[in-house]
C-alpha cells in the first residue's frame, strides 16, 4: 500500500518549477537514487519545503509506502504527535506483526488511549517503532518525508532516531528538512539514518531571483527593481516573492535613493525583536539603515553618542552581526534594515538623512542624504546633486549617477536652466551606460509625455531606441517621430540617422543600407560639430565595411582614428576601439587583438559601462578561443552570459559565443542548447545578423557532436542568410570550413568543393591567411573522399603548419586530427601515400591528442579517443559481395564510384534523395563498410585487379 497524506502538490512545487536549486537537488537525487537519506537545511524562507515537496513527489512513485509528517511550533509540546502523523494510518497494517508488549505501547502512544511515556514504556516503544518500519519495508520500499524537523516533539524525535540508527540495510529512506542558521544541523541528524547526506540550501543569485519572480507571475518588473529585490531579500526566495508581490501591487515605485517598501507580512517576521530594544537604540539603528556604509564613528558623528553600546544591544538580539573585516555596522539580514526604515515615520527618516548629510565623509553620500532630507524643489540642492552625479559618472558609477540625477530632477524648479527634464534625460543616459535599460526607457517615455523642445524629444527618442537593444523592430514607429522632431537640425538628424544605420543592419538585414546611413550620419554630425556622434557613425561605418569586405574599410578606420578623439567613443563597444579590434581579429593579428580588447575591457570597467563590459568580455572570450585557449575562453564566455542574462544586454550574442566555447572546451550537448537559445533570441528580435552567427554556432556544435546532417542543415541556412545580407568576408563567421567538412561527412563532396571555392576567392582578395589554411584543411577532406589520399595528406600537413605559425591553436589541432584519421586509413591497392603504411590508432592520434590537450578542448579530445579505439578495417571486395546487391543498390553504388552526389544520383535514377540515402545505408551494411569514401576505395581496388 502507499499512504499519501496531503500529497497533492501544487503546480508551484513541481520539480520543473523549483528555481535555482539544480546543484543541491542533483546531490540529493544522487543520494536518494542509491538508497540513502537526505536532510535539507537552511534558514527560514530559503525554500526547503518547496524542494522537499518537489523531490518527494518525484521519488514517491518508487516507494510502496510513503509516510509523511510536518511539525509546527505550536504543537511541538504534544508528545508522540509526529509519530502519530507518520504511523497512524498504517497502525492496523503492522500491529498484528508486533509482539504484544510493543503493540500495546505503540497503540497507546498513537491513539492516546491509555497512558504511555518514554520513561515508563521506553524500550517497548523504541522497539515497536523499529519493528513497524521493518514490517512495512518487508512489503516494499518505505519513504519517510518529514518537514520542519526543528519542531518535532522530543518524544517522536527520540523514537525516530532510535529506529533510524538501527535500520541497516532495510529499504527505508528519509527525506527531511530542518530550519537552521549557519551550519548548525548536526543535532538534527540524530533523527536520521547514519548515511544521511546533509544538503544546505543557500541564497539565490540575482538571475535566479528574476526567474523565480517570473515563474510566480510577477513579470514586467524593471531590472533595477529586481536588483533591489535581490539585495533586500538577500537571495531568500520567500522574502523575494513577498517583496515582488508588494511591488507588483504597489501603484507607485519607490523614489530614487529610497529602499523598497516592505510588506506587512515581512515586517512582522523580521521586526518582532525590535520591541526589546530601547527607543534610543532603535533610533540608532534607523540611522544605520539610512546609511550606505554605517560605522560606529559615522553614527557618533550623526549624533548617536552611545552608538557602540546600542549596537551591542542590537547584536545580542540577533539584529546586527559582527563584521570580521572591519568596524562596519552590518545588519544580520538586509531585510531587517529595509523593514526598520519602512516602519519609521517619514519625519524620523528625514531627520536621519539630515544628520548623515553632514556626518558622511563622501561627497556623493552627503548629497544623497541632503536630497532625502529635503522636501519640495530647491535649486541649490538640485545643483549639488547634479554635480555629485557627474562625480559618480567620472568615478565609474553610472548607476549611482542615474539615481542622483533623478533626485536632482525632483528638486529642480520647473523654470530652471538646466530644467528637470534635462536632468532626467541625463539620468536615463547614465542608466543606459549602467545597463539599466528598463529604468532608462521609463524615464524617456515620461519625458516624452510633456517635452516640447526638439532637442529634448530627440534625446528621449534616442534613449528609447538604445533601450530596445537588438529588438529594434519593436520601436520601428519611433523613427518617423524622431525625424519629425529633428527637423533640419544637423546635430539632431545625425543622431537619428546613426540609429537608422543600426536599423538597416538589424531590422532590414542590409549592410549596404547600414553603411550609407552611417556615412550620412557622420557627415551630418561633422556639419553640426558633434564629434562624438561623428566618431560613433564612422566606427559603425568601418565595422560594416569590414564585414562586407568593402575596399574602403581601412580608410574609414583610419578616418575614425583621427584626432580629436572622444574618450567615451574610444572605449564604447560600438566605438572605434571595438572596430579596430574586429579588424585585427579578422586579419589574424591575434596578439594585438588581445592587447586591444583587454585594454578596452579595463577602461569600461573603470567607467562602469556595463553594456560595453558584457560585449568586451565576450570579445575577449572569442579571441582566446581563436588562439586555442579553450578553457580560458569557456570561463570568459560563461561570465559574459551570466552578465547578459542578469542585465538583459546582448543575450543572443553571449549565448552564441558561449555555445562556441562549450563546443570547443566544455560540453557539446550544452553547446547545442545554448546555440538554440541564441537562435531563438535572434529570431524573436528579428535580427538576421546575429541569427546567422547563432546558426553558425549551432552548426559547429552539431559537427563536434558528430551530427553531420544537422550541421549541414544549420550551416546551409548561414550561407543563405549571409548571401542575403551581403557579407562576403569569410573571416566574419568562419563557418565555411565547418560546412565543407560536414558536407564531406554527409556524402556531398561536390557541394563542399563549391563552398570552398567561393570562400577562397574572397579570402584571397582580403588576404585572410588563417581562413585559407582552414579551407585547405577542408579541401583535403574532399580529396580524400575522392580517393586522392596522397594529395590530401600533403595538403593537410601544409595547412597544419600554417595554422600553427598564425597562432590558431584549435584549428591547428583539428588539422592534426584530420591528418591522423587519413594516416590510419588502410592503403588502397596500387596507391602510394605520403603517410606510408597505416600507423596503429593510438600512436597515430598522439599528436592530435597532445594539441587538443594543450588547448583544453575536451569535446575534441573525446572524439580523438573514440577514433583511436575504432580504427577502420580494410573492406573486403569480392564479386560475390557485389553480386549480392540488389539492382537499385548496384546502380547507386556504381554512380557513387563515378563521384556523383546524392542529388545527382536521385536525378539520374528518377528517385528522391531520401531513397538514395536509404539505399546507400543498405549498401554499407551488406558490404561491411561505413561511408561512400569506402565505395570509392572499392572502385580503386577493382581497377587494380
Give the containing element (helix H, strand E) for 499: helix 490-506
Supply the pLDDT for residue 214.
Answer: 84
Summarised one tens digit per residue, pLDDT across range 809-854 is 999 999 999 998 887 765 544 444 444 444 444 446 888 999 999 9
Of residues 849, 790, 859, the one with CA closest to residue 822: 790
Cell reading at 248: 507588483
Angle CA(339)–CA(344)–CA(350) in degrees, nearest 5?
120
**Within a 13 Å sphere around the CA of 491, how many CA atoms are in the beta-carbon half?**
10
Is the distance from CB of 540 to CB of 502 less than 8 angstroms? yes
Measured between its terminal Cα atoms, the distance across the chain in Å is: 74
| 529 vs 270, higher pLDDT | 529
pLDDT above 70 coverage of the chain, percent = 89
Distance CA 224, CA 434 (A): 10
Contact 740, 779 (CB under 8 A): yes
**414/420 Cα distance (integer angstroms):** 6
What secondary structure, in 3-state letters, does 706-740 show?
A: CCHHHHHHHHHHHHHHHHHHCCCCCCCCCCHHHHH
Which pLDDT band, with edges at 50, 70 and 90, does 871 fall under?
low
* pLDDT value of residue 631: 93
Each residue's pLDDT tens digit, 324-335:
555 778 888 888
Task: Check residue 292 and give its pLDDT.
Answer: 80
Cβ atoms within 10 Å of 377's Cβ, excluding its own: 14
pTM, two decimals, is 0.69
Name the H helices within 216-360. 223-233, 237-249, 264-271, 279-290, 296-301, 307-316, 334-343, 346-359
> For position 119, what pLDDT does the model report?
60
pLDDT reported for residue 781: 94
Peptide bond before residue 418 is cis, with ω within 30 degrees of 0: yes
pLDDT of res. 104? 83
Burial 310-340 (b: 16+ CB within 10 A, else e): bbebbeeeebbeeeeeeeebbbbbbbbbbbb
Q: Is the Cβ–Cβ distance between 470 and 687 less than 8 Å?
A: yes
The answer, yes or no, to whether residue 695 has pLDDT greater than 80, is yes
On the question of pLDDT at 595 being above 90, the answer is yes
pLDDT at 834: 41
Q: How far is Cα 643 from Cα 666, in angstroms, rounded to an integer?
A: 19
Q: Residue 649 burial (CB < 10 Å; 0-12/13-18/19+)?
A: buried
Angle made by CA atoms 148, 149, 153, in degrees to the nearest 5: 115
pLDDT at 344 over 70: yes
Asked if the model's pLDDT at residue 6 lies above 60, the reply is no
pLDDT of residue 113: 61
Q: What is the rounded CA–CA span in Å between residue 493 and residue 299?
A: 53
Spatial distance between the Cα atoms of 659 and 666, rounded to a whole number of angstroms: 9
Q: Looking at residues 888-898, what average pLDDT do you find?
A: 79
Write down the pLDDT at residue 716. Answer: 95
Structure confidence by residue, pLDDT tens digits, 210-257? 888 888 888 777 777 888 888 888 888 888 888 888 887 776 766 665
pLDDT over 90 (residue 671): yes
Kindly tell me if the per-residue pLDDT of 898 is higher than 70: yes
Taking only Cα atoms into account, the Rg of the chain, rounded to an integer number of angstroms, comes to 35
pLDDT at 933 over 80: no
Taking Cα atoms as reference points, which of 358, 376, 427 lies closest to residue 399?
427
d(CA 604, CA 613): 6
**What per-residue confidence (pLDDT) applies to 945?**
52
Q: Which of 341, 335, 357, 366 is nearest to 283 (CA)?
A: 341
Q: What is the DSSP letter of 508?
A: S
Q: What angle do CA 193, 199, 201 make, to 5 degrees?
A: 145
Q: b/e per residue, 21-41, with b = 16+ CB within 10 A?
A: beebbeebeebbeeebbbbbb
Among 497-506, 530-539, 867-876, which stretch is predicted with the lowest mean pLDDT? 867-876
598-609 b/e (C-beta count within 10 Å ≥ 16 → b): eebbebbbebbb
pLDDT value at position 837?
47
Report which of 482, 382, 370, 361 is spatially closest to residue 427, judged by C-alpha positions.
382
CB 586 within 8 A of CB 546: yes
DSSP E strand boundaries for 22-169: 38-42, 65-70, 142-147
- What average pLDDT does the structure give for the chain? 85
Q: How confident is the model at residue 322 (pLDDT cuts 50, 70, 90)?
A: low
Q: Indicate the burial class of 910 (C-beta count within 10 angstroms; 0-12, 13-18, 19 or more).
A: exposed
Q: How far apart are CA 868 and CA 848, in angstroms?
A: 11
Decide: helix, strand or coil at residue 415: coil
What is the spatial distance between Cα 632 and Cα 643, in angstroms, rounded to a whole number? 17
Element (H, E) at 198: strand 197-200
Classify burial at 944, counting beta carbons within 10 Å of its beta carbon; exposed 0-12, middle 13-18, buried 19 or more.
exposed
Backbone angles phi, psi at 171, to 5 degrees: -75, 70
Q: Does 877 have pLDDT greater than 70?
A: no
Per-residue buried b or exposed e for 446-485, using 16+ beta carbons within 10 Å of the residue's own CB: ebbeebeeebbbbbbbbbbbbbbbbbbeebeebbeebbeb
Cα separation, 362 vs 33, in Å, equals 56
CB 392 within 8 A of CB 398: yes
Instruction: Give me the residue label for grid cell 518617423.
Output: 480
Instruction: Report pLDDT digits (tens) over 380-424.
Output: 999 999 999 998 888 888 888 998 999 999 999 998 889 999 999
Rounded Cα–Cα distance for residues 699 and 696 (Å): 5
Of the candidate ranges 246-255, 526-535, 768-777, the one whose mean pLDDT is the lowest: 246-255
At what angle are helices 420-433 and 610-627 packed, to 10 degrees? 20
Could you check whether the bond before residue 824 is cis, i.e. omega within 30 degrees of 0?
no
> Hey, CA dihedral for 342, 343, 347, 349, is it positive or negative?
negative
What is the pLDDT at residue 260?
A: 76
Q: Name, in order, each residue with C-beta under 8 angstroms of 432's C-beta and a sequence gap of 6 or more.
A: 440, 463, 466, 467, 611
Q: Does residue 697 have a pLDDT over 90?
A: yes
The arithmetic mean of pLDDT across residues 26-34, rounded, is 87
Least trusted range by pLDDT, from 444-448, 515-519, 818-822: 818-822
- With 0-12 / 13-18 / 19 or more C-beta atoms within 10 angstroms meaning exposed / middle / buried, residue 564 is exposed
Averaged pLDDT, 604-625: 92
Amino acid at each position: 500500500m502507499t499512504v499519501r497524506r496531503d500529497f497533492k502538490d501544487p503546480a508551484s512545487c513541481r520539480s520543473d518549477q523549483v528555481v535555482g536549486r539544480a546543484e543541491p537537488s542533483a546531490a540529493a537525487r544522487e543520494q536518494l537514487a542509491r538508497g540513502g537519506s537526505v536532510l535539507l537545511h537552511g534558514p527560514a524562507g530559503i525554500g526547503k519545503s518547496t524542494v522537499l515537496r518537489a523531490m518527494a513527489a518525484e521519488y514517491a512513485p518508487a516507494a510502496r509506502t510513503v509516510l509523511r509528517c510536518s511539525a509546527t511550533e505550536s504543537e511541538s509540546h504534544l508528545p508522540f504527535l509526529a509519530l502519530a502523523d507518520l504511523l497512524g494510518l498504517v497502525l492496523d497494517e503492522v500491529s498484528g506483526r508486533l509482539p504484544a508488549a510493543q503493540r500495546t505501547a505503540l497503540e497507546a502512544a498513537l491513539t492516546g488511549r491509555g497512558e504511555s511515556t518514554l520513561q515508563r514504556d521506553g524500550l517497548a516503544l523504541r522497539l515497536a517503532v523499529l519493528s513497524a518500519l521493518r514490517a512495512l519495508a518487508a512489503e516494499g520500499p518505505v519513504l519517510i518525508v518529514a518537514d520542519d524537523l526543528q519542531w518535532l516533539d522530543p518524544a517522536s524525535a527520540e523514537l525516530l532516531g532510535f529506529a533510524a540508527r538501527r535500520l541497516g540495510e532495510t529499504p527505508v529512506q528519509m527525506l527531511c528538512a530542518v530550519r537552521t542558521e549557519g551550519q548548525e544541523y548536526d543535532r538534527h541528524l540524530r533523527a536520521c539514518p547514519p548515511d544521511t547526506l546533509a544538503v544546505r540550501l543557500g541564497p539565490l543569485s540575482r538571475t535566479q531571483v528574476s526567474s523565480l519572480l517570473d515563474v510566480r507571475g510577477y513579470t514586467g518588473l524593471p531590472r533595477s527593481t529586481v536588483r533591489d529585490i535581490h539585495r533586500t531579500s538577500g537571495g531568500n526566495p520567500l522574502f523575494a516573492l513577498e517583496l515582488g508581490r508588494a511591488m507588483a501591487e504597489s501603484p507607485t515605485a519607490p523614489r530614487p535613493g529610497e529602499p523598497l517598501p516592505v510588506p506587512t507580512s515581512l515586517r512582522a517576521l523580521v521586526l518582532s525583536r525590535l520591541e526589546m530594544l530601547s527607543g534610543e537604540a532603535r533610533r540608532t539603528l534607523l540611522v544605520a539603515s539610512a546609511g550606505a556604509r554605517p560605522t560606529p564613528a559615522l553614527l557618533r558623528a550623526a549624533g548617536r553618542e552611545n552608538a557602540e553600546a546600542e549596537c551591542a544591544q542590537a547584536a545580542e538580539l540577533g539584529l546586527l552581526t559582527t563584521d570580521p573585516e572591519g568596524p562596519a555596522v552590518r545588519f544580520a539580514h538586509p531585510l531587517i534594515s529595509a523593514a526598520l526604515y519602512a516602519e519609521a515615520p517619514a519625519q524620523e527618516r528625514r531627520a536621519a538623512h539630515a544628520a548623515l548629510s553632514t556626518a558622511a565623509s563622501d561627497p556623493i553620500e552627503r548629497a544623497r542624504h541632503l536630497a532625502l532630507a529635503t522636501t519640495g524643489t530647491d535649486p541649490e540642492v538640485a545643483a549639488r546633486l547634479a554635480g555629485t552625479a557627474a562625480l559618480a559618472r567620472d568615478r565609474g558609477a553610472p548607476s549611482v549617477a542615474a539615481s542622483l540625477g533623478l533626485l536632482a530632477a525632483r528638486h529642480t524648479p520647473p523654470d530652471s536652466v538646466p530644467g528637470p527634464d534635462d536632468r532626467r534625460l541625463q539620468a536615463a543616459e547614465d542608466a543606459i551606460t549602467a545597463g539599466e535599460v528598463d529604468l532608462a526607457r521609463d524615464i524617456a517615455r515620461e519625458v516624452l509625455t510633456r517635452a516640447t523642445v526638439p532637442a529634448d524629444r530627440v534625446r528621449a527618442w534616442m534613449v528609447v531606441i538604445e533601450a530596445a537593444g537588438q529588438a529594434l523592430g519593436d520601436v520601428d514607429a519611433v523613427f518617423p517621430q524622431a525625424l519629425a522632431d529633428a527637423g533640419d537640425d544637423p546635430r539632431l538628424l545625425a543622431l537619428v540617422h546613426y540609429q537608422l544605420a543600426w536599423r538597416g543592419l538589424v531590422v532590414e538585414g542590409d549592410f549596404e543600407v547600414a553603411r550609407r546611413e552611417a556615412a550620412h550620419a557622420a557627415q551630418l554630425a561633422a556639419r553640426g560639430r558633434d564629434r562624438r556622434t561623428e566618431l560613433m557613425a564612422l566606427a559603425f561605418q568601418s565595422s560594416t565595411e569590414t564585414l562586407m569586405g568593402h575596399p574602403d574599410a581601412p580608410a574609414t578606420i583610419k578616418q575614425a582614428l583621427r584626432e580629436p578623439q572622444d574618450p567615451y567613443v574610444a572605449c564604447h563597444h560600438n566605438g572605434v576601439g571595438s572596430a579596430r579590434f574586429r579588424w585585427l581579429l579578422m586579419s589574424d593579428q591575434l596578439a594585438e587583438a588581445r592587447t586591444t580588447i583587454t585594454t578596452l575591457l579595463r577602461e569600461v570597467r573603470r567607467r562602469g559601462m556595463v553594456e560595453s563590459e558584457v560585449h568586451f568580455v565576450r570579445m575577449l572570450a572569442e579571441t582566446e578561443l581563436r588562439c586555442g585557449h579553450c578553457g580560458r575562453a569557456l570561463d570568459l564566455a560563461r561570465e559574459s552570459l551570466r552578465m547578459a542574462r542578469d542585465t538583459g544586454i546582448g543575450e543572443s550574442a553571449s549565448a552564441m559565443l558561449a555555445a562556441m566555447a562549450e563546443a570547443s572546451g566544455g560540453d557539446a550537448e550544452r553547446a547545442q542548447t545554448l546555440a538554440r537559445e541564441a537562435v531563438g533570441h535572434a529570431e524573436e528580435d528579428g535580427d538576421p545578423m546575429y541569427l546567422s552567427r547563432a546558426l553558425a554556432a549551432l552548426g559547429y556544435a552539431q559537427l563536434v557532436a558528430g551530427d553531420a546532417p544537422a550541421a549541414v542543415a544549420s550551416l546551409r541556412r548561414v550561407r543563405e542568410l549571409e548571401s542575403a545580407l551581403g557579407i562576403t568576408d569569410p573571416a566574419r563567421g568562419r563557418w565555411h570550413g565547418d560546412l565543407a567538412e560536414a558536407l564531406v561527412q554527409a556524402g556531398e563532396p561536390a557541394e563542399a568543393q563549391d563552398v570552398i571555392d567561393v570562400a577562397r576567392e574572397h579570402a584571397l582578395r582580403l588576404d585572410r591567411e588563417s581562413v585559407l589554411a582552414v579551407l585547405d584543411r577542408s579541401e583535403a577532406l574532399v580529396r580524400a573522399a575522392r580517393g586522392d589520399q596522397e594529395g590530401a595528406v600533403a595538403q593537410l600537413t601544409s595547412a597544419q603548419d600554417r595554422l600553427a605559425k598564425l597562432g590558431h591553436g584549435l584549428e591547428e589541432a583539428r588539422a592534426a586530427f584530420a591528418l591522423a584519421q587519413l594516416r590510419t586509413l588502410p592503403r588502397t591497392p596500387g596507391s602510394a601515400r605520403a603517410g606510408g603504411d597505416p600507423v596503429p590508432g593510438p600512436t597515430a592520434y598522439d599528436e592530435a591528442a597532445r594539441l587538443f590537450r594543450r588547448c583544453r578542448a575536451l569535446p575534441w579530445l573525446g572524439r580523438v579517443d573514440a577514433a583511436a579505439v575504432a580504427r577502420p578495417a580494410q573492406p573486403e571486395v569480392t564479386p560475390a559481395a557485389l553480386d549480392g546487391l540488389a539492382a537499385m543498390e548496384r546502380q547507386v553504388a556504381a554512380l557513387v564510384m563515378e563521384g556523383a552526389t546524392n542529388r545527382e544520383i536521385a536525378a539520374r535514377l528518377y528517385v528522391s534523395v531520401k531513397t538514395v540515402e536509404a539505399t546507400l545505408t543498405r549498401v554499407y551494411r551488406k558490404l561491411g563498410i561505413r561511408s561512400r569514401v569506402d565505395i570509392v576505395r572499392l572502385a580503386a581496388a577493382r581497377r587494380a585487379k
